[in-house]
Protein backbone atom coordinates (compact mmCIF):
# COMPACT_ATOMS: atom_id res chain seq x y z
CA UNK A 1 0.00 0.00 0.00
CA UNK A 2 2.81 2.38 0.84
CA UNK A 3 4.42 1.66 -2.53
CA UNK A 4 1.26 2.77 -4.30
CA UNK A 5 0.99 5.95 -2.24
CA UNK A 6 4.66 6.80 -2.78
CA UNK A 7 4.21 6.30 -6.53
CA UNK A 8 1.17 8.59 -6.57
CA UNK A 9 3.02 11.27 -4.59
CA UNK A 10 5.95 11.24 -7.05
CA UNK A 11 3.53 11.50 -9.99
CA UNK A 12 1.78 14.43 -8.32
CA UNK A 13 5.06 16.28 -7.76
CA UNK A 14 6.08 15.84 -11.41
CA UNK A 15 2.64 16.67 -12.82
CA UNK A 16 1.65 19.69 -10.73
CA UNK A 17 3.70 22.22 -12.82
CA UNK A 18 1.75 21.12 -15.89
CA UNK A 19 -1.59 22.03 -14.32
CA UNK A 20 -1.22 25.74 -15.13
CA UNK A 21 -0.60 25.18 -18.84
CA UNK A 22 -4.25 24.69 -19.67
CA UNK A 23 -7.04 27.26 -19.97
CA UNK A 24 -10.20 27.68 -17.95
CA UNK A 25 -13.55 27.14 -19.66
CA UNK A 26 -14.52 30.59 -20.93
CA UNK A 27 -18.10 29.71 -21.87
CA UNK A 28 -19.23 29.06 -18.25
CA UNK A 29 -18.82 32.00 -15.83
CA UNK A 30 -18.55 29.81 -12.70
CA UNK A 31 -15.68 27.80 -14.15
CA UNK A 32 -13.75 30.94 -15.08
CA UNK A 33 -13.42 31.76 -11.37
CA UNK A 34 -11.78 28.44 -10.47
CA UNK A 35 -8.22 28.62 -9.13
CA UNK A 36 -6.08 27.22 -11.99
CA UNK A 37 -3.33 26.16 -9.60
CA UNK A 38 -5.54 23.47 -8.02
CA UNK A 39 -4.31 19.97 -8.79
CA UNK A 40 -5.21 16.55 -7.40
CA UNK A 41 -6.10 13.00 -8.33
CA UNK A 42 -7.23 9.77 -6.69
CA UNK A 43 -6.77 6.08 -7.47
CA UNK A 44 -9.22 3.37 -6.32
CA UNK A 45 -8.13 -0.27 -6.44
CA UNK A 46 -10.36 -3.33 -6.90
CA UNK A 47 -9.96 -4.29 -3.25
CA UNK A 48 -11.61 -1.00 -2.20
CA UNK A 49 -8.54 1.03 -1.24
CA UNK A 50 -8.39 4.70 -2.33
CA UNK A 51 -5.12 6.63 -2.72
CA UNK A 52 -5.13 10.42 -3.18
CA UNK A 53 -2.64 13.21 -3.83
CA UNK A 54 -2.80 16.98 -4.02
CA UNK A 55 -6.18 18.72 -3.84
CA UNK A 56 -8.17 15.50 -4.21
CA UNK A 57 -10.71 16.61 -1.57
CA UNK A 58 -11.55 19.81 -3.46
CA UNK A 59 -15.07 19.66 -5.03
CA UNK A 60 -15.08 20.30 -8.78
CA UNK A 61 -17.45 20.16 -11.76
CA UNK A 62 -16.97 16.84 -13.56
CA UNK A 63 -18.48 18.08 -16.86
CA UNK A 64 -18.01 15.37 -19.54
CA UNK A 65 -16.87 12.81 -16.95
CA UNK A 66 -20.60 12.38 -16.30
CA UNK A 67 -20.78 10.50 -19.63
CA UNK A 68 -19.08 7.55 -17.92
CA UNK A 69 -21.67 7.28 -15.13
CA UNK A 70 -24.56 7.74 -17.58
CA UNK A 71 -23.12 4.85 -19.62
CA UNK A 72 -22.87 2.64 -16.53
CA UNK A 73 -26.50 3.35 -15.65
CA UNK A 74 -27.73 2.76 -19.22
CA UNK A 75 -25.70 -0.44 -19.60
CA UNK A 76 -27.08 -1.85 -16.34
CA UNK A 77 -30.64 -1.30 -17.58
CA UNK A 78 -30.37 -1.95 -21.34
CA UNK A 79 -27.74 -4.69 -21.45
CA UNK A 80 -26.23 -5.59 -24.82
CA UNK A 81 -29.14 -3.97 -26.69
CA UNK A 82 -27.47 -0.65 -25.89
CA UNK A 83 -24.80 -1.33 -28.52
CA UNK A 84 -27.44 -1.52 -31.26
CA UNK A 85 -27.80 2.27 -31.00
CA UNK A 86 -24.24 3.32 -30.17
CA UNK A 87 -20.94 1.77 -31.18
CA UNK A 88 -17.74 0.82 -29.35
CA UNK A 89 -15.20 2.08 -31.87
CA UNK A 90 -12.45 4.70 -31.37
CA UNK A 91 -12.60 8.06 -33.11
CA UNK A 92 -9.88 10.42 -34.31
CA UNK A 93 -12.22 13.42 -34.43
CA UNK A 94 -13.12 15.89 -31.69
CA UNK A 95 -15.72 14.92 -29.11
CA UNK A 96 -18.31 17.28 -30.64
CA UNK A 97 -17.71 16.35 -34.30
CA UNK A 98 -20.67 15.26 -36.45
CA UNK A 99 -18.61 14.06 -39.41
CA UNK A 100 -18.59 10.36 -38.53
CA UNK A 101 -22.25 10.53 -37.54
CA UNK A 102 -23.16 11.64 -41.05
CA UNK A 103 -20.90 9.11 -42.76
CA UNK A 104 -22.02 6.08 -40.72
CA UNK A 105 -25.83 6.23 -41.09
CA UNK A 106 -26.44 8.15 -37.87
CA UNK A 107 -24.93 5.64 -35.40
CA UNK A 108 -22.34 7.25 -33.08
CA UNK A 109 -18.99 5.51 -32.80
CA UNK A 110 -18.87 5.43 -28.99
CA UNK A 111 -20.81 6.82 -26.00
CA UNK A 112 -18.08 9.34 -25.07
CA UNK A 113 -18.57 11.46 -28.17
CA UNK A 114 -21.33 14.04 -27.85
CA UNK A 115 -23.63 12.23 -30.35
CA UNK A 116 -23.14 8.97 -28.45
CA UNK A 117 -23.79 10.66 -25.09
CA UNK A 118 -27.03 12.06 -26.48
CA UNK A 119 -28.12 8.55 -27.47
CA UNK A 120 -27.37 7.28 -23.95
CA UNK A 121 -29.26 10.22 -22.42
CA UNK A 122 -32.24 9.49 -24.67
CA UNK A 123 -32.30 5.89 -23.47
CA UNK A 124 -32.19 6.99 -19.83
CA UNK A 125 -34.95 9.55 -20.33
CA UNK A 126 -37.16 6.89 -21.90
CA UNK A 127 -36.71 4.68 -18.78
CA UNK A 128 -36.61 7.33 -16.01
CA UNK A 129 -38.87 10.25 -15.38
CA UNK A 130 -36.00 11.96 -13.46
CA UNK A 131 -32.83 10.86 -15.18
CA UNK A 132 -30.68 13.48 -13.43
CA UNK A 133 -31.60 12.13 -10.00
CA UNK A 134 -30.88 8.55 -11.10
CA UNK A 135 -27.34 9.50 -12.22
CA UNK A 136 -26.60 11.37 -8.96
CA UNK A 137 -27.91 8.43 -6.91
CA UNK A 138 -25.60 6.08 -8.81
CA UNK A 139 -22.56 8.32 -8.22
CA UNK A 140 -23.30 8.53 -4.49
CA UNK A 141 -23.55 4.75 -4.25
CA UNK A 142 -20.31 4.13 -6.18
CA UNK A 143 -18.27 6.76 -4.30
CA UNK A 144 -19.83 6.39 -0.88
CA UNK A 145 -20.08 10.19 -0.76
CA UNK A 146 -23.64 11.40 -0.08
CA UNK A 147 -22.66 15.04 -0.58
CA UNK A 148 -22.36 14.69 -4.36
CA UNK A 149 -24.97 16.90 -5.98
CA UNK A 150 -25.59 19.29 -8.85
CA UNK A 151 -23.92 22.72 -8.92
CA UNK A 152 -26.81 24.99 -9.89
CA UNK A 153 -24.50 27.93 -10.55
CA UNK A 154 -22.59 25.94 -13.16
CA UNK A 155 -25.85 24.61 -14.58
CA UNK A 156 -27.22 28.16 -14.94
CA UNK A 157 -24.06 29.17 -16.79
CA UNK A 158 -24.62 26.42 -19.34
CA UNK A 159 -28.23 27.45 -19.98
CA UNK A 160 -28.56 29.00 -23.45
CA UNK A 161 -29.25 32.70 -23.64
CA UNK A 162 -32.84 33.88 -24.07
CA UNK A 163 -33.81 33.69 -27.74
CA UNK A 164 -34.19 36.96 -29.60
CA UNK A 165 -37.89 37.99 -29.63
CA UNK A 166 -38.73 34.55 -28.24
CA UNK A 167 -37.67 32.74 -31.43
CA UNK A 168 -35.12 29.97 -31.52
CA UNK A 169 -32.04 30.36 -33.76
CA UNK A 170 -33.42 27.76 -36.19
CA UNK A 171 -36.46 29.97 -36.85
CA UNK A 172 -34.24 32.99 -37.39
CA UNK A 173 -32.25 31.03 -39.98
CA UNK A 174 -35.50 30.21 -41.80
CA UNK A 175 -36.60 33.86 -41.69
CA UNK A 176 -33.24 35.04 -43.04
CA UNK A 177 -33.33 32.39 -45.78
CA UNK A 178 -36.87 33.38 -46.82
CA UNK A 179 -35.89 37.08 -46.83
CA UNK A 180 -32.91 36.40 -49.08
CA UNK A 181 -35.10 34.42 -51.49
CA UNK A 182 -37.71 37.23 -51.62
CA UNK A 183 -35.01 39.84 -52.23
CA UNK A 184 -33.52 37.71 -55.01
CA UNK A 185 -36.93 37.28 -56.65
CA UNK A 186 -37.53 41.05 -56.45
CA UNK A 187 -34.20 41.84 -58.08
CA UNK A 188 -34.86 39.31 -60.84
CA UNK A 189 -38.26 40.88 -61.47
CA UNK A 190 -36.82 44.40 -61.65
CA UNK A 191 -33.73 43.78 -63.74
CA UNK A 192 -34.67 40.70 -65.82
CA UNK A 193 -38.40 40.08 -66.11
CA UNK A 194 -39.48 43.71 -66.43
CA UNK A 195 -37.26 44.55 -69.46
CA UNK A 196 -38.29 41.29 -71.16
CA UNK A 197 -42.01 42.01 -70.70
CA UNK A 198 -41.57 45.59 -71.93
CA UNK A 199 -39.74 44.33 -75.01
CA UNK A 200 -42.46 41.73 -75.73
CA UNK A 201 -45.24 44.36 -75.84
CA UNK A 202 -43.23 47.10 -77.59
CA UNK A 203 -44.25 47.86 -81.26
CA UNK A 204 -41.93 46.38 -83.85
CA UNK A 205 -40.15 49.16 -85.83
CA UNK A 206 -39.90 48.69 -89.61
CA UNK A 207 -36.70 46.96 -90.60
CA UNK A 208 -34.08 48.96 -92.46
CA UNK A 209 -33.84 48.44 -96.22
CA UNK A 210 -37.56 47.62 -96.57
CA UNK A 211 -39.42 50.94 -97.02
CA UNK A 212 -43.09 50.99 -96.21
CA UNK A 213 -44.73 52.53 -99.28
CA UNK A 214 -48.36 53.34 -99.77
CA UNK A 215 -49.06 54.38 -103.34
CA UNK A 216 -52.40 55.01 -105.00
CA UNK A 217 -52.53 54.98 -108.77
CA UNK A 218 -56.29 55.00 -109.29
CA UNK A 219 -58.91 57.40 -108.02
CA UNK A 220 -60.77 56.38 -104.90
CA UNK A 221 -64.51 56.55 -104.90
CA UNK A 222 -65.64 59.87 -103.47
CA UNK A 223 -62.13 61.37 -103.46
CA UNK A 224 -61.93 65.14 -103.61
CA UNK A 225 -59.45 67.02 -105.78
CA UNK A 226 -56.83 69.21 -104.24
CA UNK A 227 -57.37 72.96 -104.32
CA UNK A 228 -56.45 74.55 -107.68
CA UNK A 229 -57.14 71.36 -109.64
CA UNK A 230 -60.84 71.99 -110.07
CA UNK A 231 -62.24 72.92 -113.49
CA UNK A 232 -63.00 76.57 -114.28
CA UNK A 233 -66.76 75.85 -114.33
CA UNK A 234 -66.55 74.70 -110.69
CA UNK A 235 -67.27 71.02 -111.48
CA UNK A 236 -64.96 68.34 -110.19
CA UNK A 237 -63.03 66.22 -112.65
CA UNK A 238 -64.29 62.67 -112.21
CA UNK A 239 -61.05 61.08 -113.36
CA UNK A 240 -58.63 63.24 -111.33
CA UNK A 241 -56.16 61.01 -109.45
CA UNK A 242 -54.84 62.11 -106.06
CA UNK A 243 -51.12 62.51 -105.56
CA UNK A 244 -49.39 59.31 -104.39
CA UNK A 245 -48.61 59.04 -100.65
CA UNK A 246 -45.24 57.59 -99.67
CA UNK A 247 -44.02 56.86 -96.14
CA UNK A 248 -40.26 56.69 -95.90
CA UNK A 249 -38.56 54.15 -93.67
CA UNK A 250 -37.32 55.13 -90.26
CA UNK A 251 -33.84 56.55 -90.23
CA UNK A 252 -31.43 56.55 -87.33
CA UNK A 253 -32.06 59.52 -85.08
CA UNK A 254 -35.62 60.16 -86.42
CA UNK A 255 -38.58 60.06 -84.03
CA UNK A 256 -41.31 58.02 -85.75
CA UNK A 257 -44.05 59.24 -83.43
CA UNK A 258 -43.22 62.87 -84.29
CA UNK A 259 -43.31 62.13 -88.04
CA UNK A 260 -46.64 60.29 -87.72
CA UNK A 261 -48.12 63.28 -85.88
CA UNK A 262 -46.93 65.70 -88.56
CA UNK A 263 -48.41 63.52 -91.34
CA UNK A 264 -51.72 63.31 -89.49
CA UNK A 265 -51.88 67.09 -89.01
CA UNK A 266 -51.01 67.69 -92.67
CA UNK A 267 -53.75 65.27 -93.83
CA UNK A 268 -56.41 66.93 -91.67
CA UNK A 269 -55.35 70.34 -92.98
CA UNK A 270 -55.57 69.16 -96.62
CA UNK A 271 -59.04 67.69 -96.08
CA UNK A 272 -60.18 70.98 -94.53
CA UNK A 273 -58.92 72.95 -97.53
CA UNK A 274 -60.71 70.64 -99.99
CA UNK A 275 -63.98 70.85 -98.04
CA UNK A 276 -63.78 74.65 -97.97
CA UNK A 277 -63.13 74.79 -101.73
CA UNK A 278 -65.92 72.33 -102.64
CA UNK A 279 -68.54 72.31 -99.86
CA UNK A 280 -71.38 70.94 -102.02
CA UNK A 281 -69.40 68.01 -103.38
CA UNK A 282 -68.03 67.21 -99.90
CA UNK A 283 -71.56 67.19 -98.46
CA UNK A 284 -72.73 64.86 -101.25
CA UNK A 285 -69.87 62.43 -100.57
CA UNK A 286 -70.60 62.41 -96.82
CA UNK A 287 -74.28 61.67 -97.52
CA UNK A 288 -73.25 58.80 -99.82
CA UNK A 289 -71.04 57.31 -97.04
CA UNK A 290 -73.88 57.57 -94.54
CA UNK A 291 -76.31 55.68 -96.81
CA UNK A 292 -73.86 52.92 -97.74
CA UNK A 293 -74.58 49.58 -95.99
CA UNK A 294 -71.99 48.52 -93.41
Q: Give the whole-angstrom CA distance, residue 265 versus residue 257.
A: 12
| 22 is a domain residue | yes
For residue 43, the Cα-to-chain-centroid distance in whole angstroms is 53
In a domain, 219, yes or no: no
Terminal-residue alpha carbon distance, the chain = 128
Residue 64: DSSP 8-state: G
Q: Is residue 100 part of a domain?
A: yes
Q: What is the pLDDT of residues 72-103, one digit of tens each?
A: 999 998 899 999 999 999 988 888 888 888 78
Mean pLDDT of 28-32: 87
Q: How confident is the model at residue 240 (pLDDT cuts 50, 70, 90)?
A: very low
Lowest mean pLDDT among 37-51, 188-202, 222-236: 222-236
Last residue of a domain, one of 129, 159, 189: 159
Chain-centroid distance of CA 48 in Å reads 59
What CA–CA distance (Å, rounded) separates 14 from 9?
9
Looking at the structure, tell me whether residues 17 and 69 fall in a common domain: no
- Residue 17 confidence (pLDDT) above 70: yes
Asked whether residue 21 carries a pLDDT value surpassing 90, the answer given is no
Q: Which of 31-40, 239-248, 284-293 has the lowest mean pLDDT?
A: 239-248
Distance from C-alpha of 254 to C-alpha of 277, rounded to nearest angstrom: 35
Say how many domains are in the chain.
Answer: 4
List of residues 6+ apart from 73 with CB closer than 8 A: 124, 134, 135, 138
In a domain, 137, yes or no: yes
Rounded distance between C-alpha atoms, residue 238 and residue 221, angstroms: 10
Does this model's pTM top 0.95? My answer is no
Predicted confidence (pLDDT) at residue 51 exceeds the cutoff of 90? yes
What Rg, from alpha-carbon coordinates, does the chain have?
A: 49
Looking at the fold, whether 109 and 151 belong to one and the same domain comes out as yes
Q: What number of H helices and E strands is found in the chain?
A: 11, 2
CATH number at residue 107: 1.10.1500.10
Q: Which of 159, 193, 215 marks a domain boundary? A: 159
Range of the domain at 283: 257-291
* Residues 146, 180 within the same domain: no
Amino acid sequence: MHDIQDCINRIAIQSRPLATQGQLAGYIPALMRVDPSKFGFAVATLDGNVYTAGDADEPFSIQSISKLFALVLASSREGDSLWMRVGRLPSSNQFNSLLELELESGKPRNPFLNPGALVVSDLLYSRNTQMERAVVTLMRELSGNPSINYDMEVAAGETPAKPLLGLEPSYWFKIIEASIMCLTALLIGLFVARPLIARMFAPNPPSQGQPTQLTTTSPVAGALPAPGHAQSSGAMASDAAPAPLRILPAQPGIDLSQIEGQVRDSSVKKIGEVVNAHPDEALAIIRTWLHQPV
